Amino acid sequence: MYVKFTEIGTLELNSNIHSIVDQIQNQQLLLTLYKILKSNNGKKSNGVWDSLTAEERVEVMLAFEELEDEDNLIESDKVLNKFK
C-alpha cells in the first residue's frame, strides 16, 4: 500500500521512516541510508532526489526494500566482470 507523499504530515512520515529503518537487518543498507541522510542533513536541496517524480522515488525506495533480502544481492566482482 502506497500513500502519496503529499498526503502524509511530517510527523507521521518521520514515524513511518523510523519504523521501516528499525526493521532493517542488512547492515550495508543501514550504512548506505545513514550516509545519505547524514550528507543531506540541513541542506535545502537534495539534488537528484528533488529531480525525481513521485513514481521514481517509490521505485528507489522499493529497490532499497529489495536490498534487505540477501538473495537479491550480487557480488560486485560478478557485476563488474559483466561490463568488461
- Residue range 22-73, pLDDT digits in tens: 998 888 888 888 887 777 666 666 578 788 888 888 888 888 888 878 888 8
* Predicted local distance difference test score (pLDDT) of residue 1: 42
* Predicted local distance difference test score (pLDDT) of residue 66: 83
Amino acid letter for position 4 = K
- Residue 15 confidence (pLDDT) above 80: yes
* Predicted local distance difference test score (pLDDT) of residue 28: 84
Instruction: Give the residue among 17, 6, 5, 16 at the shortest CA–CA distance from 57.
Output: 5
